[in-house]
Every structure is written in C-alpha cells, then in structure tokens.
Amino acid sequence: MCGIVGYIGQKSAAGFLIEGLEKLEYRGYDSAGVALLDVEQEPLQIIKHQGKVAATAAAVAAIKPTGTSGIAHTRWATHGEPSDRNAHPHADCRGTIAVVHNGQLTNYQALKKQLTAQGHTFQSDTDTEVLAHLLEDFRKNGDDLVTAVQKTTQVIAGGTFALVAIDAATPDTLVAACMGSPLYIGLADDGLFLASDHRAFRAHTDKSVQLKDGQMAIINADHTYRVVTFDNHQSPHDIQQLKYQLEDIEKGTYATFMEKEIVEQPDVVRRVLDGRSTDDGMVRLGGIETHPEFQSFIKKQLHDVLILGCGTSLYAGETVARFFQEHGYEVQAMDAAEFATSSFQVKPTTLVVPMSQSGTTADLLVAMEKVKAAGAVSFSLVNVPGSKLTSYGTGMYLHAGPETGVASTKAFTAQVLSGALLVLALAQESRLNAPHVAAFTERAKTLSFAIEKILAQSDDYKKIGQSLKDVPRMLYIGRGYGLAVAKEGALKMMEIARIPSLGMSAASMKHGPIALVDSETVVVAICIHDPKVPELYDLTVSNVEQVLARKGRVIIVAEEGDDRVATLGPNGQHPEAVISVPKVHYGILSAITTMIPLQILALAAAEVRGMNVDQPMNLAKSVTVL
C-alpha cells in the first residue's frame, strides 16, 4: 500500500511524478503529494492534499514547477488520519530534506519522543515523519545523504519500509532504501525513476531493477545509479525487461478497471492453460519440471499440503484445497496472517502453497518467513513476475496480466485454475491415471468459452445488481465448491458496493445468520451439482426453502437446464432471479463460472449506489502493511 514515485533527470519532474502517481493510485488514495527541487524556488517545494491524486495534480499544475527532480506519494494511512498535514512527503525542521515512505515504523513513538526532546518540531501524526528528522540530524553531523539514509535504516530496524529521500543540498541525487516493501528503479532515456511498482514509469521505459530487502539505490541526474547494501557495499542486481504493454495497464474503453478485468477472464484462462499440458493431456509445469529436488520431494516426502493466502487469494485457496482433498491429500487452507501468528508448525513433509496476486502481501510474506525458518518446501502461485513471493522456492505464474482494480477478479479465476493444474501435476506423479488428467485438461480448455457465454449475459446480471441498490444486507450461501464462492461473492459486494454481506456455508446459516433474514434481506445461493457429492445440491436447495419461508429475497446461481430452482418456495415467494451458468462438469471449474456473475452483480450494485468501483473506501490493492 502507498505508492511512491521519484524522478531525476534533465526534464521537468512534475509531469512524470503526477503521471506515476496516477498509475499507482490503486495502492492508496486518501491523500497525495509531491516534493520538487527547483533551483529558483528555495529550498524545496512541497505540495500535498487530502483526497485523490487529482487534487494534488491540480495544485501542482497551477504553480507550473520546472524542477528536474522530485519525489511523490499516494497514501493509504496507517498512522494518522488522512489529511493534508499527514500526507507525504514529510520534511525536516528546515524544510530542506523530504521523504516518502511505504510501510510502518514500529519504534516511531520512541524516536519521536527522543527527537522532540532534542528540539525537533513535528508537523504530522505519521510514523514516517521521524525519517525526515533523523536524516536532518545525521546531515547536521556531517554525513552525506547516502550515509544519513544508511544510518537511518539502522535506527528504524524492525520496521518495514520503502523510502525515498530528497535533499535540497544535494539536488543531483535521490536516495532510496528498501526493507519489506517493494521498490523499483526505472532506467529511461528521459531520466531515472524510483517507484513502488514499475507501472509508474512503464510509459517511459521497459527496463527496471527490483530492489531487494536490505538494498539501497542512489540515482543521479547524470543518469548514473548505484545499488548498495545498508552497510555500503556494492550489491548485485539484475535489469529486468518488463514484458507487458502500456494498454495492459490502461482502462481503454472501459469505465472501470474492474469491468475490464472481468471481461479479460476468457483470455486469462487461455493463458493459464497455454503450454501447460502435453499432447496427451498430461499437465506440465515448468516450476516442477525444472526443479529435480522438488520432484524428488513430491515422490518421496510429500504428505500434506498447507495453502496460505489472504482475502480473495484465501478463498481461491479454499477452492483449491477442496480439489486437493478430492485427490486424496491431507490439506488445509489458512489465512496467512493467522498462520504467521499461531503455534501451527509446518513439517518437512508439508508442501506449502502460498497464493497471492501481488506477491507482496505483507501478511503472506511474514508467514513465508516462518515457513522458510522451518525449512519447509513451497510452491507459490503468484501473478506479479519477480515479486517478493517468487523468492521463496519454486512456483507458477498466474499469467492474469496486471490487475489494477482493487477488487480482485481475474486473479481469482487464474488462482483457482492454476491451483487445479498444480494438484493434477502433483497427483499424476504417483496417484492418478492419465485419462483422468487428460479429461480434466480437455474440459478446462472449454472453460474460456463457458466464460464468454456468461459475459454475453452481463447486461442481465447488471440489472439484477442494480436491483440491489437499497438492500440493507445480504447473505451468500453455498456448500462444497459453492462455499468459497459464497465468501468471495460477499467480499466483492462489501468491498465495492458497501452492502453489509456475509458469505457462509448454506448449512451454517441456520446456526445464526438466518436471524437476519426478512423481506429486505437478499440471499444469494449457489446451487450447483457437484458430480462428486450429489447430495450437496438438494441440501442447498432446502436451505433456500428456509429463506423463502421467511420471506427473504433470493437470487440463485444454478446450472443451465436447472428448471427446479425457479419454482422453489411457497406460492408467490419464489426466487426473484436465477442466474444460469454453463455446466462445466468439475466442481472446481464451477467455482469459476459461478463467481463471475457475482463479480458483475457487485460491480453493477456499486455503480448504481454511486461508489468508486476502482478505489473503494478504506481499501487499497497490494496490502503491504501488517
């Protein structure tokens, strides 16, 4: 969370910085700001405002700055309310040094107390501001900016940070440091960039260096740069070629990123499957084939599986866990943060499967440190190439393409399908016969067409979503593969439409949540036939009857050809809408087909309720704080 941008070069910095902030606004949008060095404007110009980047952009445009270096930030507050004065950048007492920061400084209170006692005056409630005052002290004592940042990283050890500092006294240099939050250098002809995500500078270059934890970057106006460790040794780094195109990170003709990303799902499915099966339908995963030690682990040691994720990734993980179970594995899907803070231990025979869109989710990375310390084997499912999560063991990319909408959609689909391939790839090594795997991969290839058929009905689903405009509360119920879909459906509705929504097992509704059912409550029920557990359908249908008997409003997601669901309920009290999705013959694939209409429902409900779909209240994508 929080988006950082820095620029230094020969051109005016303001345009690059604002453009970068706009690209990073998905990371945080409660306030934004820039600090610019302009030789004619002493010492440092800081412009910052509460609210979206647009407010800061307008203020910057009004003063027409010409400075050729600067830093910028779009914030997701952790310490101190969203306000003008808590917006970054934060400056030292003299206003000559400024910093932007992503992360949390655990010892900031003690530092603030100490700095205040020494005579420093604080302007904000943030943890970040201590950085500016620490730098001020080190600089006063004669350290250059690089040394001052190095010493500061020692003082704030234990916290998480990506930070960039600018100093009016050294106008030709920006200094950055990275520990637990992402930071990239952009190498462009127009100048050098620093950013939390390379999207900020993708319009200007496809060359980027990803900083590792414990690395600092020093970028200069003469186009030179250095990467060093916190103790000032040259540090090896690779220049990465960014593969995606600019249109992949732009909305194009769509009103929102979320809608664009929903519509992309047939292509995402094709990309997930592309090159991952042999001619005879067996699964091939590069992350397994190129890792003999992992193959030997599968054959000789693998006993049980632990899937870790947060939010949507956790629900995708629960879906994949069920597929693991179907194939005879002992498995559990756990919230990564809960795992990290529990006494639960992984064994040498446990395969850990972390799942994440961004690969930078702080809760998951902390969990992975615990996994690493235990020496356990992991296989990651991750979307963003080269992200931190990829540094833990082997894995596979989701190939969903950049996901910008804060409410995750296509990444869910990619995670579920990739997870299914992983299960089959593991199982085929020892337990499964070839025809079974081939039948699945054959069916999976038709999934993109099923999704296209669903998307062709979008207008109908949007009307249902619009009918939810004034609904006070919703319940989402499902069983089997429908359970994680119910939770994910409710999450989508809560996060973007802000309708209080609970997702749960249809069975557990009667143990409490049914108390909420009345004629105003909408219950979305996923009523799908699971070929492995046929009774689930009838059981869910009887839970729907219980809702209708209490006059609840019901929306059903069922398979095409299911004529029964529309007639449920006493006379005059039938479901008010039935969403029909194509039959896909595998429970795990139905988790994808049933979820997509629920994404559209949430999108339409949010729009009719006047919500900002891509920037939902209090949220941000890539949750890089604990």
| Total residues at interface with ligand GLU (CB under 6 A) | 16
What's the burial of 250, exposed, middle or buried (CB within 10 Å: 0-12/13-18/19+)? middle
Establish if 482 lies at the interface with ligand GLU (CB under 6 A).
no
Quick one: how far is CA 35 from the chain centroid? 28
Report the residue number, 1 or 18, with the smaller CB distance to ligand GLU: 1
Output the smallest distance, CB 27 to ligand GLU, in A.
8
In the complex with ligand GLU, which residue's Cβ is closer, 43 or 80? 80
Chain position whose Cβ is nearest to ligand GLU = 2
Alpha-carbon distance of 26 to 405, in angstroms, equals 7
Query: Please, what's the largest Cα pairwise distance for the chain?
Result: 84
Residue with Cβ nearer ligand GLU (406 or 541)? 406
277: contact with ligand GLU by CB under 6 A: no
Contact flag: residue 358 with ligand GLU (CB under 6 A): no
Q: Which is nearer to ligand GLU, 5 or 499 (CB)?
A: 5
Q: By CB under 6 A, is residue 546 in contact with ligand GLU?
A: no
- Considering the complex, state which of residue 103 and residue 191 has its C-beta at the smaller distance from ligand GLU: 103
Q: Is residue 621 flagged as an active site residue?
A: yes
Nearest to 576 by CA among 607, 601, 595: 601
Query: Which of 45, 56, 69, 102: binder of ligand GLU (CB under 6 A)?
Result: 102
5 backbone dihedrals φ, ψ, rounded to 5°: -135, 140
Query: Which of 156/477 has CB closer to ligand GLU?
Result: 156
Cα 300 to chain centroid, rounded: 34
How many angstroms separate the CA atoms of 27 and 326, rounded? 37
In the sheet that holds 553-559, the strands lie side by side as 501-505, 474-478, 522-527, 553-559, 577-581
Treating both helix axes as pointing N-terminal to C-terminal, what angle do 481-492 and 312-326 enclose, rounded to 10 degrees? 170
- How near is the Cβ of 76 to ligand GLU at its closest, in Å? 4
Instruction: Of 452, 450, 445, give the one whose Cα is nearest residue 273.
Output: 445
Question: Per CB under 6 A, which region of 35-43, 95-103, 165-173, 586-594 contacts ligand GLU?
Answer: 95-103
456 by Cβ neighbours in 10 Å (0-12 / 13-18 / 19+) ranks as: exposed
462 touches ligand GLU by CB under 6 A: no
Of 103, 159, 386, 569, the one binding ligand GLU (CB under 6 A) is 103
Could you tell me the two tokens for 159?
């916290």
Stretch that binds ligand GLU, among 99-107, 251-259, 372-380, 512-520 (CB under 6 A): 99-107
Reduced 3-state DSSP string for 551-569: CCEEEEEEECCCCCHHHCC
Q: Which two tokens stand for residue 626?
A: 């604990």
What's the CA gap between 535 and 532, in Å, rounded? Answer: 9
Among 126, 313, 319, 594, indicate the residue that binds ligand GLU (CB under 6 A).
Answer: 126
Asked if 2 is part of the footprint of ligand GLU (rule: CB under 6 A), the reply reads yes
- The alpha-helical segments, DSSP class H, found in 41-107 are 53-63
Residue of 101, 133, 271, 553 that binds ligand GLU (CB under 6 A): 101
Applying CB under 6 A, which part among 77-85, 184-192, 323-331, 453-461 lies near ligand GLU?
77-85
Query: Which residue, 130 or 523, has its beta carbon nearer to ligand GLU?
Result: 130
Q: Establish whether 2 is a catalytic residue.
A: yes
Chosen residue from 7, 26, 76, 379 binding ligand GLU by CB under 6 A = 76
Provide the b/e sequence for 137-165 (b: ≥16 CB within 10 Å): bbbeeebebbebbbbbbebbeebbbbbbb
Q: Is 104 in the site for ligand GLU (CB under 6 A)?
A: yes
Site for ligand GLU in 128-157 (CB under 6 A): 128
* Span interacting with ligand GLU, options 78-86, 171-179, 485-493, 555-563, rule CB under 6 A: 78-86
Instruction: Count the alpha carbons within 13 Å of 20 in the hemisphere toward its beta carbon.
Output: 33
- Is residue 79 close enough to count as binding ligand GLU by CB under 6 A? yes
Q: Applying CB under 6 A, which of residues 12, 41, 66, 78 lies at the interface with ligand GLU?
A: 78
CA angle 254, 260, 266 (to 5 degrees): 140
Note whether 625 binds ligand GLU by CB under 6 A. Answer: yes
CB closer to ligand GLU out of 79 and 327: 79
In the complex, the smallest distance separating the C-beta of residue 1 from ligand GLU, rounded to whole angstroms, is: 4
Q: Distance between CA atoms of 159 and 624, rounded to whole angstroms?
A: 12
Contact residues: ligand GLU, CB under 6 A = 1-2, 75-80, 101-104, 126-128, 625
Catalytic positions, please? 2, 621
